[in-house]
């Protein structure tokens, strides 16, 4: 995927769901993975010509696994001339050792989100951007159906009333394959996740299931995403997509 295509899809999502307003300061949660680095680049470049002026900064939450190296993140942010804050935490130790969670992802995500929110507020941000792409939306829908018995997916825009922050998901119209292609084309310095359960979670199962469905029924992924957009899910605005 070329730069112009990425920016076009991000801008379409931003305008369809009114994600950005004049004067916004947006913190991008950066893990060093392909999705978050792609989002950071897209929003940084969009900020240079978008008619509503906004600024972008990056926040990276160090989970404390001990084998993570944030050199690539720092170098990437420096190249983009983007402010970066790296937060050191004990999340890995708490989740894996002290709590000994059998299903650690939920607690880890909750603690990581808390650290990100607090740092975004400290940096004077009013919005946070998460790097959920189109496949993430569909996988979340499958997980909700299979394990919770409901048709639900997180909305494109979510406001936290307790903090006043708003969460955005500007990559929602971009396929994961397009993100991979973009990173390969432009040699984005992607880091491997240091998490020991990476690839062994329920989300990994949903990803494999989605790939199988798409192989056996070409076009199924597109139809499932259309069902999400038009499904009348609570908190989702109606659109012309």
219 phi-psi bin (left φ>0, alpha ψ -120 to 50, beta other): left
Is 166 within the bounds of a domain?
yes
Q: Which domain holds residue 98?
A: 3-230
For residue 93, what pLDDT band results from cuts at 50, 70 and 90? confident
Is 67 within the bounds of a domain?
yes
Indicate whether 51 pLDDT > 90. yes
- The predicted pLDDT at position 100 comes to 67
SS3 content of the chain, % helix, strand, coil (to 5): 45, 10, 40
Query: Which domain CATH number covers 173?
Result: 3.40.50.620
Give per-residue pLDDT as tens, 161-196.
889 999 999 999 999 999 999 999 999 999 887 776
For residue 199, what pLDDT band results from cuts at 50, 70 and 90? low
Please tell me the least confidently modeled range out of 10-24, 44-58, 103-117. Answer: 103-117
- The predicted pLDDT at position 222 comes to 96
Measured CA to CA, the distance from residue 32 to residue 70 in angstroms comes to 8
Three-class DSSP category at 155: coil
Mean pLDDT of 6-26: 97
Is 236 within the bounds of a domain?
no
Is 238 within the bounds of a domain?
no
Give per-residue pLDDT as tens, 153-162.
999 999 998 8
| C-alpha closest to that of 172 among 46, 10, 2, 6 | 10
Is 78 within the bounds of a domain?
yes
Indicate whether 239 pLDDT > 90. no
| C-alpha closest to that of 54 among 27, 92, 17 | 27
Mean pLDDT of 88-98: 80
- The predicted pLDDT at position 98 comes to 66
Q: How many domains does the chain have?
A: 1
- The predicted pLDDT at position 68 comes to 66
Is 237 within the bounds of a domain?
no
- The predicted pLDDT at position 94 comes to 85
- The predicted pLDDT at position 105 comes to 77
Is 203 within the bounds of a domain?
yes
Mean pLDDT of 128-132: 97
Q: Which two tokens stand for residue 239?
A: 């659109």
Indicate whether 23 pLDDT > 70. yes
Is 30 within the bounds of a domain?
yes
């Amino acid at each position: 995927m070329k730069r112009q295509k990425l920016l076009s899809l991000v801008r379409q999502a931003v305008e369809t769901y009114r994600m950005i307003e004049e004067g916004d300061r947006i913190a991008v949660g950066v893990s060093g993975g392909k999705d978050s680095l792609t989002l950071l680049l897209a929003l940084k470049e969009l900020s240079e010509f978008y008619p509503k002026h906004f600024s972008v900064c990056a926040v990276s939450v160090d989970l404390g696994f001990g084998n993570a190296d944030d050199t690539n993140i720092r170098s990437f942010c420096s190249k983009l001339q983007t402010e970066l804050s790296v937060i050191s935490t004990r999340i890995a130790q708490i989740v894996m050792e002290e709590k000994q969670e059998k299903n650690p992802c939920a607690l880890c995500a909750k603690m990581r989100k808390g650290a990100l929110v607090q740092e975004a507020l400290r940096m004077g941000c009013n919005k946070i951007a998460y790097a959920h792409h189109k496949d993430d939306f569909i996988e979340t829908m499958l997980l909700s159906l299979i394990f919770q018995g409901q048709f639900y997916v997180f909305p494109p825009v979510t406001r936290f009333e307790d903090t006043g922050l708003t969460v955005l998901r500007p990559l929602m119209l971009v396929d994961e394959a397009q993100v991979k292609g973009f990173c390969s084309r432009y040699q984005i310095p992607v880091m491997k996740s240091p998490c020991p359960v990476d690839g062994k979670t329920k989300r990994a199962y949903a990803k494999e299931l989605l790939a199988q469905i798409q192989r056996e029924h070409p076009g199924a992924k597109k139809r499932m995403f259309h069902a999400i957009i038009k499904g009348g899910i609570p908190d989702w605005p109606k659109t012309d997509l």
